[in-house]
């Protein structure tokens, strides 16, 4: 399994397999014996190929137009420090972590034969290892990235703010006849509740640490030897550790962790005092970003693509969805704030 995947970009500007073959030879001195594009993901700004070089070594080559290079720099830094569980990066021939090609950046990491933990599951000892792996990431000495180059700051992941998306969807819902908008109208009271959560004030100051940014179980690979590897570092950021840990508390994969799994994770992570309001606020922002993005995409699509966006939208609001998981604790935090 690779460190990322992609779906078709309707713009038609995506690089081809032959582009990748040429770039890998010119930029990384990798002679490609076999290359195939990886499909099935949701990041339209990226293309991933599985590459086998002439020595038989398998690599994941990822080209992306995302502006931040924090993830690549962080992975490279952790590899130098000897932190296990992160991808091995092959630098370019002139020592850079990525090369620039066709308006995007190309990086090369070792391919993992592991399967994602969301599919195969984790035993309790693996949950301990999962906690220890994130603790190692958070403890790594890594400087705050410069604000230039679009480096991500904080929890927000999308260029268009969720409040702007909500206004646009509300405008479309006024007199709109698309039946998909009925789902938006029905969800609107819960959207308002989540919006209240985005205004919760943190109770403590935050220590900035390097964060993966999206460490749900779909980005955790279980290697053939049972070890774990974190992949897909495009959302990496230096910020409060709750950026990562809220995704453990409030799963975005419709598979909430059990009390025993959370206890095992915390045992591996080690003792830490988390800010409940910050955790809940981040979970509300994540749910709103995902809800608005999927509804906007559903309105702009049709057929199977629309069905998939609606599946995710309704899943977020379902009993095991991330919105539902945070709502009870959100109400508690709001009550405590009002007291």
Q: What is the pLDDT of residue 4?
A: 37
Using DSSP's 3-state secondary structure scheme, residue 100 falls into: strand
Q: What is the pLDDT of residue 209?
A: 94
Q: How would you write 146-169 as a 3-class SS string?
A: CCHHHCCCCCCCCCCCHHHHHHHH
Facing residues of 52 across strands?
34, 58
Residue 104 CB: number of other CB atoms within 10 A? 20
Q: What is the pLDDT of residue 246?
A: 97
Position 3 confidence tier, pLDDT thresholds 50, 70, 90: very low
Position 151 confidence tier, pLDDT thresholds 50, 70, 90: low
Q: What is the dihedral of CA 260, 261, 262, 264, to 10 degrees?
A: 90
Position 13 confidence tier, pLDDT thresholds 50, 70, 90: confident
Tens of pLDDT, residue by residue over 211-270, are: 999 999 999 999 999 999 999 888 899 999 999 999 999 999 999 999 999 999 999 999
**264-277: average pLDDT:** 97
Indicate the average pLDDT of the chain: 89
Residue 92: which residues within 8 A CB-CB, separation 6 or more? 27, 28, 98, 99
Domains of the chain as residue ranges with CATH: 1-112 (3.30.200.20), 114-339 (1.10.510.10)
pTM: 0.86
Choice among 114-118, 158-162, 298-302, 312-316 with the minimum mean pLDDT: 158-162
Residue 310: which residues within 8 A CB-CB, separation 6 or more? 180, 183, 294, 298
**42-48: average pLDDT:** 78
Residue 149 has pLDDT above 60, yes or no: no
Tens of pLDDT, residue by residue over 287-325, are: 999 999 999 999 999 999 999 999 999 999 999 999 999
Residue whose structure tokens are 């964060």: 211
Residue 40 CB: number of other CB atoms within 10 A? 8
Q: What is the pLDDT of residue 92?
A: 95
Residue whose structure tokens are 């000897």: 82
Percentage of residues in the chain having pLDDT higher than 90: 73
Q: What is the pLDDT of residue 68?
A: 65
């Amino acid at each position: 399994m690779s460190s990322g995947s992609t779906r078709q970009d309707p713009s038609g500007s995506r690089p081809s397999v032959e582009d990748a073959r040429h770039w890998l030879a010119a930029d990384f001195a990798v002679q490609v014996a076999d290359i195939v594009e990886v499909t099935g993901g949701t990041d339209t700004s990226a293309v991933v190929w599985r590459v086998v070089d002439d020595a038989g070594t398998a690599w994941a080559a990822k080209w992306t137009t995302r502006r931040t290079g924090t993830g690549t720099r962080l992975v490279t830094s952790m590899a130098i420090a000897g932190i296990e569980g992160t991808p091995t990066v092959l630098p370019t021939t002139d020592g850079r972590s990525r090369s620039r090609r066709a308006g995007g950046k190309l990086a090369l990491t070792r391919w993992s034969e592991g399967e994602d933990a969301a599919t195969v599951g984790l035993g309790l000892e693996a949950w301990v290892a999962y906690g220890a792996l994130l603790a190692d990431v958070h403890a790594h000495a890594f400087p705050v990235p410069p604000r230039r180059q679009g480096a991500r700051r904080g929890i927000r992941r999308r260029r268009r703010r969720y409040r702007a998306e909500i206004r646009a969807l509300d405008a479309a819902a006024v007199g709109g006849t698309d039946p998909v908008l009925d789902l938006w109208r029905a969800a609107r009271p819960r959207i308002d509740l989540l919006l209240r959560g985005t205004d919760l004030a943190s109770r403590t100051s935050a220590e900035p640490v390097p964060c993966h940014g999206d460490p749900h179980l779909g980005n955790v690979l279980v290697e053939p030897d049972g070890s774990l590897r974190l992949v897909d570092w495009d959302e990496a950021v230096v910020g409060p550790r709750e950026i990562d840990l809220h995704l453990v508390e409030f799963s975005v994969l419709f598979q909430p962790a059990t009390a025993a799994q959370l206890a095992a994770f915390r045992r591996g992570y080690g003792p830490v005092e988390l800010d409940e309001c910050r955790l809940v606020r981040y979970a509300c922002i994540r749910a709103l970003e995902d809800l608005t993005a999927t509804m906007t995409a559903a309105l702009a699509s049709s057929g199977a693509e629309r069905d998939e966006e609606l599946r995710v939208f309704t899943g977020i609001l379902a009993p095991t969805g991330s919105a539902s998981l945070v709502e009870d604790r959100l109400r508690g935090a709001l009550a405590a704030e009002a007291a």
